Amino acid sequence: MTLYLIKLSQLKMKNTIDPESIRQELQQYESRLISFRKTVHENPEVGFNTRGTLARIKSILEQFGISGLDTETSPGSGFLLIEGNRPGATVALRADIDALPIEEKSGCEWASKNGNAHSCGHDGHQTWLIAAIIYLVKHRDFPGRILCIFQADEENVAGAQSVIDSGVFQKYGVKEIYGAHNEPSLDVGTIAFKAGPTMAACDLFSIRVVGVGTHGARPNFGKDPLPVATEIYNALQSLVSRTLDPLKSAVVSVCSFNTEGSRAYNIISDSVKMIGTVRTFDESIRDTIEEELTRRSQGIAAAYGIKAETVYERRVSAVNNDPELTKDAKEAADRCFGAQNVIELAEPYMISEDFSSYQKVLPGCFFFIGVKDSEHKEALHSPYFDFNDKALIPAGAFFSYLALERLNKLQEAK
């Protein structure tokens, strides 16, 4: 008889995690998590100025006996590394924590009063990541490590790059990353995925048309920039429809159009400024739009003997979900939410997310968690928006389950 000695670590054991048990365990902490979320909502911070938010995150983690939040590695952001009880790969979970510089009008008791507002629901995002951390720290029977990222300055699309530049991914050998956004168009209790291009690239532009100001009664003494700027504006309306491949999506929007200098009723200003945004999913289209916007603006201005100063800024690339990771995440969601509540998006969103910066250096998947019900119908960035707390426990449980599933799968692949 031949004996075979096999190391236990070499056995590819099937993961037997029960997603419902995760949800049930986290349910007992729901009231504490909601209280935390409302406190953060009441005290929103913008950009990288998130010191108070990080202090609150640190405090609630310590209340659950969890220490080690790193707030020094990247400005405004925080990191917590959760280590399993045996070696393995490292995956990252990311939540954004910054707010918007707008006046809240929700009327809820926990509404902000400092002139900023969590009108994009990042108060909920950080709370569902905290829920996941609470579970994962208590259940370390998994291979590898989970890096939890509380990211600042998503709204200005600079926070993700700051995290990357900190070197934290190289430090911990992160293999892949996951993130999510609440979605008011989807019912609470649902979750949505899309492989490939999922959210648009975001570019900004400004066009300053410079003429010669004069008295309104003597327009012939100057060079009025207003009709020239209007012609440029009209020319931009056909840029997408007559320049780009009709099968490829793009949006060019002039969002503000103002004269500069005097606002008097009898003075023709010497300059007009337009600012706007461009959204698309294709890098070659970004190139074409930048070139064509500049050419049309400067060419029209030159035809009238004045000039157009154009500035085009590429802010963030398109979110492009890894197909294999998205497939695995969707299958995990089938088990957590029920297949009937898992949506496969037919079309990408034209809004943008700096999660795409992570996807330039790591494979990743970004998905959407529904928050709509009869009491929560406001759009993102509305001053009336408030996050739906019914999404907290399902989302926290899913992040926990997804991280464990991926670590087990990466271990099996060795």
Q: What is the pLDDT of residues 177-221, one digit of tens each?
A: 999 999 999 999 999 999 999 999 999 999 999 999 999 999 999
Same domain, 31 and 81: yes
Q: Which residues have C-beta within 8 Å of that of residue 281, sequence separation ≥ 6? A: 197, 200, 201, 248, 249, 318, 348
Q: In the predicted model, what is the mean pLDDT of residues 307-330?
A: 98
Could you read off the pLDDT of 36-89 as tens digits, one per residue? 999 999 999 999 999 999 999 999 999 999 999 999 999 999 999 999 999 999
Q: Are 399 and 265 contained in the same domain?
A: no
Q: How many residues does the chain have?
A: 414
Q: Are strands 214-215 and 267-268 parallel, antiparallel or unpaired?
A: antiparallel
**What pLDDT is stored for residue 414 in this prediction?**
78
Query: Does residue 145 carry a pLDDT above 60?
Result: yes
Q: Considering the entire predicted model, what is its pTM?
A: 0.92
Indicate the average pLDDT of the chain.
Answer: 96
CA distance 368 to 186: 8
108 appears as a binding residue in the annotation:
no
Range of the domain at 381: 15-198+318-412
**E strand or H helix at 312, and its extent?**
strand 307-316
Q: Are 376 and 386 in contact (CB under 8 A)?
A: yes
The single residue listed with the structure tokens 């236990």 is: 8
How many angstroms separate the CA atoms of 249 and 310, rounded? 23
**From 6-10, 361-365, 373-377, the region with the lowest mean pLDDT:** 6-10
What local confidence, expressed as pLDDT, does residue 263 receive? 83
What pLDDT, on a 0 to 100 scale, did the predictor assign at position 8? 41
Dihedral sign from CA coordinates of 336, 149, 65, 409: positive
186 SS3 class: strand
Radius of gyration, CA atoms only, the chain: 25
End position of a domain, from candidates 265, 282, 316:
316
Same domain for 172 and 288: no
Residue written as token pair 């706007």:
276
Percentage above 70 pLDDT, the chain: 96
In a domain, 1, yes or no: no
Paired tokens of 240: 């997408």
Closest CA to 122 of 155, 146, 163, 92: 155
Q: Residue 215 falls within a domain, yes or no?
A: yes
pLDDT, average across residues 139-145: 98
Residue 255 annotated as lining a ligand binding site: no
Helix (H, G, I), strand (E, B) or coil at 293: helix
Parallel/antiparallel/unpaired status of strands 201-210 and 271-280: antiparallel
Residue 97, token pair as written in the block: 């924590």
Residue 6 located in a structural domain:
no
Instruction: Look at residue 140 and tell me if it is in a domain.
Output: yes
Known binder of ligand: residue 381? yes
Residues 75 and 173 in one domain: yes
Separation of alpha carbons 240 and 252, rounded Å = 7
Cα(330)–Cα(402) distance, rounded to whole angstroms? 10
290, 328 Cβ separation under 8 angstroms: no
Does 125 appear as a known binding residue? no
- Is the predicted pLDDT of residue 223 greater than 70, yes or no? yes
Same domain, 193 and 206: no
Does residue 108 surpass a pLDDT of 80? Answer: yes
Choose the final residue of a domain: 294, 316, 338. Answer: 316
Question: pLDDT digits over 327-364, tens only?
Answer: 999 999 999 999 999 999 999 999 999 999 999 999 99
Q: Are residues 158 and 205 in the same domain?
A: no
The CATH number for 19's domain is 3.40.630.10
Average pLDDT (131-152) is 99
Are 413 and 15 in contact by the 8 Å Cβ rule? The answer is no
**Looking at the domain assignment, is residue 387 inside a domain?**
yes
Specify if 223 maps to a domain. Answer: yes
Asked if residue 3 belongs to a domain, the reply is no
Considering the domain architecture, whether residues 232 and 127 belong to the same structural domain is answered as no
Residue 13: what pLDDT? 45
Token pair 């490590």: residue? 145
What confidence tier does 261 reach under pLDDT thresholds 50, 70, 90?
confident
Shared domain for 275 and 373, answered yes or no, is no
- On whether both 230 and 371 belong to a single domain, the answer is no
* Residue 347 annotated as part of some ligand binding site: no
CA angle centred on 126, ends 122 and 127, rounded to 5°: 110
Give the pLDDT confidence score for residue 291 in this predicted structure: 98
Phi and psi angles of residue 14, each rounded to the nearest 5 degrees, phi first: -70, 135
| Statement to judge: residues 294 and 357 lie in one domain | no
What pLDDT does 262 receive?
A: 79
pLDDT at residue 15, rounded to an integer: 53
Which of 282, 316, 350 is the endpoint of a domain?
A: 316
> Measured between alpha carbons, how far is residue 98 from residues 95, 153, 304 in Å?
10, 6, 45
For residues 294 and 369, state if they share a domain.
no
Instruction: Pick the range with the lowest mean pLDDT from 4-13, 152-161, 280-289, 396-405.
Output: 4-13
CATH number at residue 279: 3.30.70.360
| Residue 410 C-alpha from the chain's centroid | 26
Q: Residues 4-17: what's their mean pLDDT? A: 49
Residue 105 domain flag: yes
Domain count, the chain: 2
Same structural domain for residues 212 and 192? no
- Other Cβ atoms closer than 10 A to 255: 9
Give the angle subtended at the CA of 105 by the CAs of 104 and 110, to the nearest 5°.
70
pLDDT at 10 over 80: no
